[in-house]
Structure 1
Amino acid sequence: MLTVHHLGISQSDRIVWLCEELAIPFELARYDRDPVTRLAPSAYKALHPSGTAPVITDGALTLAESGAIIDYIVARYGDGRLTLKADHPDFARFLYWYHFANGSLMPCMMMLMDGGGMAAIMQDRAGRSLAALEAHFAEGHQWLAGEDFTVADIMTMFPLTTMRAFITLDLSPYPNLRAYLRRVAERPAFQIARAKADPDLQVPLD
């Protein structure tokens, strides 16, 4: 049985949401952060050598890393749903935004958390990333891959919502991006996943 090991207020909320979007059976094992340090408990860190969320287990398999887990679940249980095939006209756009969240947006936002010497550079980079998202939606696209909701959207929502529990992120200059967040929040699978993963977390959408 596929088990999603969910650390509260973490990237593992993506995996809970993915399973709900695909409507596949899974078990949810929930772990709470330390109330003082806000770090993962030792039981979660022991799941995988990375010590980070997300982690899944599936029989004898233990797998970490958001992208790897999403690729595994989509291929193993999702029949390729929520992705685009190579001959789709929006395939390259899909690939870009799918890797954008953890390749570009997340690293600069993580560095904003410590307020160190790179903060000013990362603030500029985060601003350019948000501007790119705003421009994409200003062109009339419904989702990141165009007209198809995909795992690119699942990857990108975390830094724009849940991660704001740790950093200040002003989205007021980006009306099209905020409209996109509201569209996502209306998806039934998103709402179900939130209720299961982090029922007490208020998701900021603007």
Structure 2
Amino acid sequence: MIVVHHLNNSRSQRVLWALEELGVPYEVKRYERDLKTNLAPNTLKKVHPLGKSPVITDGSITVAESGAIIEYLAQTYGGDDFTPDIGTEAHRQYIYWLHFAEGTLMPQLLLKIIFEKILKSTMPFFVKPIARGIVKKVMKGYVGPNITGNLDFIESHLKNNEWFAGEELSGADIQMSFPLEAWVAKSSNDNNYPEITAYVKRFQARSAYQKALKSGGHYDYA
């Protein structure tokens, strides 16, 4: 049986969702973040050297990285589900969005979170104006415009597509779920992206998603 090494409030929630959509039996082994550092516990390093989640074990096989896990599950247990036919436009979109989520979108969102923490952190009074000046300049000149560009691009795609790759939900939607629902949860007053907001509500309403929430426990972005 597949074991999901599940870190609370993390990307591994979407792996649980993928398994529920595929109807694959699984077991959840829970790990809790350090309350001070917010990092995963060292016990996860016994599963994978980097000690990060998500990671699954399937018998003697260990797979880390959510995109790789989704590909593995689709190829091993998906049958005709989760992956559009190779050579089709839907498959090209599937590959693109599967990589876009962590390769393009998440780095900018993480930079935003880090810089916002810096602005709120305690620091010597003589350092504060310099640090905050640098942060605001980078946010205004680089991070902010990149996030806006990415969200505009996604919003445009979702205006013409119910799902990211074709007419059916695929692994690309599982992969894109985490950054988009995190953004929606933290930007509840932003009405500039109605298609993204509707998309997040659409997949969160799925019965498989709701079952995954019960398996994973508390999840801030739901």
TM-score norm. by structure 2 comes to: 0.82
In structure 1, runs of 5+ residues without a counterpart are none
Matches of 1:114 and 1:203, distance apart in 2: 18
Structure number, greater radius of gyration = 2
Tell me, which stretches of 5 or more residues in structure 2 are unaligned?
Answer: 116-134
Are the equivalent residues in 2 in contact too, given 1:10–1:162 (CA < 8 A)?
no
For 1:163 and 1:43, the matched residues in 2 are separated by 29
CA shift for structure 1 position 164: 7.0
- The residue type equivalent to 1:27 in the other structure is E
Contact kept in structure 1, 2:43 and 2:51, CA below 8 Å? no
Deviation at 1:102, TM superposition (A): 0.8
Give the alignment partner of residue 215 of structure 2, picking from 171, 183, 196: 196
The answer for the alignment partner of 1:50 in structure 2 is 50
Which residue number corresponds to residue 74 of structure 1? 74
Residue 143 of structure 1, CA deviation: 0.7
1:1-206 correspondence to structure 2 within 5 Å: 1-115=1-115, 116=135, 118-120=138-140, 121-139=142-160, 141-162=161-182, 168-169=186-187, 171-198=190-217, 200-203=218-221
- Aligned positions, number: 200
Does the 8 A contact of 1:70 with 1:151 survive in 2? yes
Following the alignment from structure 1 to structure 2, what is the Cα–Cα distance between the partners of residues 154 and 10? 13
TM-score norm. by structure 1 comes to 0.88
Give the drift of 1:161: 2.0
Shift of 1:3: 0.6
